[in-house]
C-alpha cells in the first residue's frame, strides 16, 4: 500500500508514495479522504487514478486505511453492475 519512503514538501507537509498499480482500492481511498480533507467533493481527485503512483499527504493515510472496507464494497458493486450489462 503506502511505501515507507516519505518526503517533506516545501510547505512542510509530509507525503507518502502510494503505488496505484499495486493497491488500487487503497489509492482510491486516499484520494477520497484527501479531497474531503480539503473540503472538496470526494471524487475531486479521481483523475489521479490514471497514473501508476501518487504521493499522498501522510495525515490522510490512516483515515484511508479505515475507509478500505467501504471502498472495496463500492468497487465490487460497480463490477457487478458492469457485468450485468
Q: How confident is the model at residue 2 (pLDDT cuts 50, 70, 90)?
A: low
- pLDDT tens per residue across span 29-72: 999 999 999 999 878 888 999 999 999 999 999 999 999 999 88
Q: Do residues 54 and 17 touch, judged by C-beta distance below 8 A? A: yes
Cut 0.85: pTM above it: no
Domain boundaries, the chain: 7-84
Q: Is the pLDDT of residue 1 over 60?
A: no
Q: Do residues 30 and 56 touch, judged by C-beta distance below 8 A? A: yes
pLDDT at position 85 is 72
Amino acid at each position: 500500500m503506502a511505501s515507507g519512503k516519505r518526503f517533506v514538501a516545501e510547505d512542510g507537509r509530509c507525503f507518502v508514495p502510494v503505488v496505484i498499480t499495486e493497491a488500487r482500492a487503497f489509492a482510491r481511498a486516499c484520494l477520497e479522504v484527501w479531497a474531503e480533507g480539503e473540503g472538496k467533493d470526494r471524487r475531486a481527485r479521481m483523475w489521479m487514478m490514471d497514473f501508476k503512483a501518487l504521493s499522498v499527504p501522510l495525515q490522510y493515510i490512516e483515515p484511508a486505511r479505515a475507509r478500505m472496507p467501504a471502498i472495496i464494497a463500492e468497487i465490487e458493486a460497480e463490477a457487478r453492475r458492469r457485468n450485468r450489462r
